[in-house]
């Protein structure tokens, strides 16, 4: 605080949406800036309702939080309006005028491309839209008449906010291992850098203005689409262990593996993590469900958290114990 980057440690779907929604309420966040695009879905459970958000920042559950879409983001206009309607955030959400636009033709190109199919793209058109942006032929938010009442200068808003000590969350999407530059699994990666520095860059926040990098781990690892997943177990085994998942965005089966301490250490270092969150602790230790006090966690769960801290060198300050935004052990 006041400026925190939220970055996913693995291949996405670590539960960033849940952590962001908790922080929005608990810390009374002033600005939440979403980066990336519609290939990523952030799940928020609040007051018994489930939201899978592809555009609206996960902090929306705090009615006082200003919601922004970053200058570096890619906007799907239809999805944006559908989610604004669903979350009723008219009046406190805006898109940077220079964010680029995904069109129908981009999703069609994604689906038609044999290479993209091989990678297991989400088919939302993000890669082809980014290609056009790099060619300097993309449409920007300011070129879309329907967005007229939703335009802002996000970069100025956020930097002016930081000048007067406002609290800002920079919402990363996907996971570090899907980074185009740094994930190491090229071509089985997404079309952009998903690391902490890139999240700040997309939002127009300089590195010296970031106070904290909160890396989000899940108690096991999942991946959708193709590409290597060290230590992968079968779907049957994942079901037996109680952690089989289906993708929030595409409905595809998520592949899974056990928590990887070496990978956790590596991604903490490259992202410059100052704090860590561990989500879904209740999936590997069911007796943790909905626990809110650290002292109430079972011994083996505490040992696991301690091992993660010892091996990564990062304090685990937030621990997710259930799907609802407030199912958290907050050790800060
Ligand atoms: P694309 O970014 O849609 O082109 O997909 C490229 C790869 O990244 C595929 O393996 C996708 O499954 C994966 N991917 C993209 N976005 C997400 C996400 O938000 N969570 C998990 N995997 C993702
Ligand atoms: Mg997701």
With a 6 Å cutoff on the Cβ, whether 107 touches ligand 1 is no
- The CA-atom distances, in angstroms, between 142 and each of 22, 31, 63, 187, 203 are 32, 21, 26, 32, 17
Residue 11 alpha carbon to ligand 2 centre in Å: 9
Structural domain spans, the chain: 3-330
Cβ neighbours for 308, distance < 8 A, ≥ 6 positions apart: 217, 259, 261, 264, 276, 278, 314, 316
Cβ contact 222:252 at 8 Å: no
Q: Which of 35, 190, 251 to mutate to test the pocket of ligand 1 (most atoms within 8 A of CB)?
A: 190
Output the pLDDT for position 114: 86
Cβ contact 20:185 at 8 Å: no
Cβ atoms < 10 Å from Cβ of 28? 11
With a 6 Å cutoff on the Cβ, whether 225 touches ligand 1 is yes
**Of 271, 272, 273, 292, whose CA–CA distance to 281 is shortest?**
292
Residue nearest to atom 19 of ligand 1 (CA): 40
Tens of pLDDT, residue by residue over 192-220, are: 999 999 999 999 999 999 999 999 999 99
Kindly state the tokens that stand for 214: 């909160």
Output the pLDDT for position 117: 86
Mean pLDDT computed over 26-30: 98
User: How many Å apart are CA 175 and CA 319, to the nearest integer?
Assistant: 18
Residue nearest to atom 4 of ligand 1 (CA): 121
Tens of pLDDT, residue by residue over 265-286, are: 999 999 999 999 999 999 999 9
**Of 166, 164, 185, whose CA–CA distance to 174 is shortest?**
185
Tens of pLDDT, residue by residue over 129-159, are: 999 999 999 999 999 999 999 999 999 999 9
pLDDT of 228 strictly over 80 = yes
Cβ atoms < 10 Å from Cβ of 260? 18
Cis bond upstream, residue 2 (ω within 30): yes
Residue 123: nearest ligand to its CA? 1
CATH code of the domain made up of 3-330: 3.40.440.10
Percent of the chain with pLDDT over 70: 100
As a whole number, the mean pLDDT across the chain is 97
User: How many Å apart are CA 113 and CA 121, to the nearest integer?
Assistant: 10
């Amino acid at each position: 605080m006041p400026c925190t980057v939220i970055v996913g440690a693995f291949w996405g779907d670590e539960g960033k949406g849940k952590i962001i929604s908790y922080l929005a309420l608990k810390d009374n966040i002033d600005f939440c800036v979403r980066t990336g695009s519609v290939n990523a879905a952030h799940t928020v459970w609040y007051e018994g309702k489930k939201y899978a958000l592809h555009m609206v920042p996960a902090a929306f559950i705090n009615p006082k939080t200003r919601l922004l879409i970053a200058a570096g983001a890619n906007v799907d206009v239809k999805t944006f309006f559908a989610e604004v309607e669903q979350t009723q955030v008219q009046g406190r959400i805006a898109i940077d005028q220079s964010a680029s636009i995904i069109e129908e033709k981009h999703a069609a190109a994604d689906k038609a491309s044999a290479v993209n199919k091989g990678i297991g793209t989400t088919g939302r058109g993000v890669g082809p839209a980014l290609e056009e942006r790099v060619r300097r032929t993309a449409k920007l938010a300011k070129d879309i008449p329907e967005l007229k009442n939703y335009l802002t200068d996000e970069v100025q808003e956020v930097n002016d906010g930081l000048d007067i000590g406002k609290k800002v969350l920079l919402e990363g999407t996907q996971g570090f291992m899907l980074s185009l530059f740094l994930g190491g699994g090229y071509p089985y990666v997404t079309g952009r850098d998903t690391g902490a520095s890139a999240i700040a860059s997309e939002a127009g926040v300089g590195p010296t203005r970031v106070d904290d990098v909160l890396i989000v781990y899940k108690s096991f690892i999942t991946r959708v689409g193709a590409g290597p997943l060290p230590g992968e177990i079968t779907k049957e085994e994942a079901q037996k262990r109680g952690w089989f998942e289906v993708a929030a965005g595409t409905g595809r089966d998520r592949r899974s593996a056990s928590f990887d301490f070496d990978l956790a250490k590596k991604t903490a270092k490259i992202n410059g993590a100052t704090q860590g969150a561990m989500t879904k602790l209740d999936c590997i230790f069911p007796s943790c469900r909905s626990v809110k006090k650290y002292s109430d966690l079972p011994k083996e769960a505490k040992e696991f958290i301690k091992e993660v801290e010892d091996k990564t060198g990062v304090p685990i300050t937030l621990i997710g114990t259930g799907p609802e935004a407030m199912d958290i052990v907050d050790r800060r």
